[in-house]
Amino acid sequence: MRLSRYFLPVLKETPAEAQIASHRLMLRAGMIRQASAGIYSWLPLGFKVLRRLEDIVHEEQIRAGHIPMLMPTLQSADLWRESGRYDDYGQEMLRITDRHNRDMLYGPTNEELITDIFRSTVNSYKELPKTLYHIQWKFRDEIRPRFGVMRGREFYMKDGYSFDIDEASAIHAYNRHMVSYLRTYERMGLQAIPMKADTGPIGGDYSHEFLVLADTGESEVFYDRSVTDLSLGDRSVDFDNVAECQAIVDEFTAPYARTDETHDEALFEAEVPADRRKSARGIEVGQIFYFGTKYSEALGAEVVMPDGSRKPVEMGSHGIGVSRLVGALIEANHDENGIIWPEGVTPFRVGIVNLRQGDTDTDAACDKLYADLTAAGLDPLYDDREERAGAKFATMDLIGLPWRITVGPRGLKEGKVELTSRRTGESELLTPADALARCADIYAGL
């Protein structure tokens, strides 16, 4: 993409309404624009990041054996009356009436709809297990939408639903989700710590929230510092292997890590040496939940067992806040000049800055680099505007591309361009071919 042809409405002023860095930077970098309270248009740069996150989520869910599909945003109220949640959900639910006076709603989540699909299509235990998921817009009429996309009213969420024949199989589905989520966040360059979550009236041990540590997070968290040393890394996981998934879950859930909702100070002090006890703020970027037969009983989602009896299926739901993650990523990766995208999620992989736009040789060198980077799949953003170098650098720093190649007449005399890391600020003088090779190396496997 050439910046002269792109749509990147950056703001010079810091928007007064934005209280936290990610919200400010998303507005300033032209990633989003508020349409109304808690509802945003995703401008091209923001949309590119959102799509990238969505791709990673799909890849990791499919790797774990989960099946993608798509359910609508608008749902019929009748199903929610069956589950009893139409009244329980209260004012957070956006209720709509169609022209035939039928009650509809904009889905805040999809347990009812997926359970309805399941009950009307699956009959036998032989068809289990199944995990179906989609990535779709949700609406929750939050009292206080704030912090930009972090707490929107309309937001983009991956929600997956597991259907299993018994508790052991359902727990394996739960573990599969935990492991696949750990991989997902790590690929995004984020550390999200699984923390024991409140299961509400259902009870039991099977809910975890995934928290990204950040001062601006809305949750208060308590954890054993050793949990932050854990990482999945590049181990290959067999998602069908029950013991292997359980071992990873055990490893990541052994150290104490809880939000204020489940925090137990006495236990914290008993389990964790004082010098490892940490309390901090965190952003919830996902949650997994095994809740047994709550919805299958309410909606009659049963399968026929080998002995001919009927049994309600064991269910879980598992969510990732895809649009919130864009904000969380920026909270965890920025400095005073702007965003610093991890390579795994950056909207463009390399920025090209032409220091002397209109100079024949510099333009030609930039054009060639642009063509070569494009051909190598390195998705460059070429700043070819008639602007001062300072303004071009400021834009690149603001939008946060991890690598920048600067091309000017002085370097070209020696046959060199400059490759700069956004994160460290360090630069290297390289031939254009070597700069390309370095970038190809950095992005290999991403």
Ligand X SMILES: Nc1ncnc2c1ncn2[C@@H]1O[C@H](COP(=O)(O)OP(=O)(O)OP(=O)(O)O)[C@@H](O)[C@H]1O
How far the first Cα of the chain sits from its last, in Å, is 20
In sequence order, what are the residues at sequence separation of 6 or more whose Cβ sits closer than 8 angstroms to the Cβ of residue 142? Answer: 38, 92, 151, 152, 153
263 makes contact, choosing from ligand X, Mg ion, none, with CB < 5 to 8 Å by partner type, with none
Max Cα distance, the chain (Å): 82
**378, 350 Cβ separation under 8 angstroms:** yes
The answer to the question of residue 110 lying near ligand X (CB under 6 A) is no
- Sign of the torsion angle spanned by Cα atoms 173, 177, 183, 184: positive
74-76 and 103-106 beta bridge pairing: antiparallel
Read off the tokens for 335: 């400095």
User: Could you list the residues that contact Mg ion (CB under 5 A)?
Assistant: 287
Cα–Cα distance, 135 to 325 (Å, whole number): 13
Read off the tokens for 414: 């020696």
Considering only the stretches 56-64, 278-286, 341-349, 401-409, report the one whose residues sit in contact with ligand X under the rule CB under 6 A.
278-286
Residue 280 CB, nearest approach to ligand X (Å): 16
Select the residue interacting with ligand X from 249, 285, 340, 353 (CB under 6 A): 285
Select the residue interacting with ligand X from 30, 148, 286, 351 (CB under 6 A): 286
Select the residue interacting with ligand X from 148, 194, 312, 321 (CB under 6 A): 321
* Identity of the residue, 178 or 419, whose beta carbon is nearer to ligand X in the bound complex: 178
Residue 337 CB, nearest approach to Mg ion (Å): 33
The answer to the question of residue 22 lying near ligand X (CB under 6 A) is no
* Identity of the residue, 61 or 406, whose beta carbon is nearer to ligand X in the bound complex: 61
Closest CA to 289 of 324, 317, 252, 262: 317
The answer to the question of residue 318 lying near ligand X (CB under 6 A) is no
CB closest to ligand X, residue no: 321
Considering only the stretches 126-134, 318-326, 330-338, 419-427, report the one whose residues sit in contact with ligand X under the rule CB under 6 A.
318-326
**153, 141 Cβ separation under 8 angstroms:** yes
Select the residue interacting with ligand X from 28, 85, 140, 172 (CB under 6 A): 140
**325, 375 Cβ separation under 8 angstroms:** no
Residue 151 CB, nearest approach to ligand X (Å): 5
Cα–Cα distance, 194 to 324 (Å, whole number): 17
Select the residue interacting with ligand X from 54, 59, 142, 367 (CB under 6 A): 142
324 makes contact, choosing from Mg ion, ligand X, none, with CB < 5 to 8 Å by partner type, with ligand X
> Please, what is the Cα angle at 229 between 227 and 230, to 5 degrees?
75
Considering only the stretches 150-158, 234-242, 307-315, 388-396, report the one whose residues sit in contact with ligand X under the rule CB under 6 A.
150-158
CB closest to Mg ion, residue no: 287
Q: SS3 for 178? A: helix
* Identity of the residue, 294 or 385, whose beta carbon is nearer to ligand X in the bound complex: 294
Cα–Cα distance, 126 to 303 (Å, whole number): 9
In angstroms, the Cα distances linking 320 to 172, 243, 427 are 19, 25, 37
The answer to the question of residue 287 lying near ligand X (CB under 6 A) is yes
**418, 431 Cβ separation under 8 angstroms:** no
Residue 141 CB, nearest approach to Mg ion (Å): 17
The answer to the question of residue 182 lying near ligand X (CB under 6 A) is no
**19, 25 Cβ separation under 8 angstroms:** no
Judged by CB under 6 A, the number of residues near ligand X is 15
Residue 427 CB, nearest approach to ligand X (Å): 37
The answer to the question of residue 57 lying near ligand X (CB under 6 A) is no
Considering only the stretches 57-65, 75-83, 151-159, 364-372, report the one whose residues sit in contact with ligand X under the rule CB under 6 A.
151-159
The answer to the question of residue 312 lying near ligand X (CB under 6 A) is no
Residue 155 CB, nearest approach to Mg ion (Å): 12
Cα–Cα distance, 297 to 300 (Å, whole number): 5
The answer to the question of residue 284 lying near ligand X (CB under 6 A) is yes
Cα–Cα distance, 382 to 364 (Å, whole number): 13
49 makes contact, choosing from ligand X, Mg ion, none, with CB < 5 to 8 Å by partner type, with none
Q: What is the DSSP letter of 148?
A: G
* Identity of the residue, 287 or 296, whose beta carbon is nearer to Mg ion in the bound complex: 287
Q: Determine which helix (DSSP H) or strand (DSSP E) holds 307, and give its type and residue range.
A: none
The answer to the question of residue 207 lying near ligand X (CB under 6 A) is no
> What are phi and psi for residue 242, nearest 5 degrees?
-60, -45
The answer to the question of residue 206 lying near ligand X (CB under 6 A) is no
In DSSP terms, which residues pair with 163 in a beta bridge? 130, 315
The answer to the question of residue 178 lying near ligand X (CB under 6 A) is no
Select the residue interacting with ligand X from 151, 187, 334, 404 (CB under 6 A): 151
Angle between helices 242-253 and 167-187 (to 10 degrees): 60
**355, 408 Cβ separation under 8 angstroms:** yes
Considering only the stretches 147-155, 246-254, 267-275, 409-417, report the one whose residues sit in contact with ligand X under the rule CB under 6 A.
147-155
- Binding site residues, ligand X, CB under 6 A: 109, 140, 142, 151-152, 155, 157, 284-287, 319, 321, 323-324
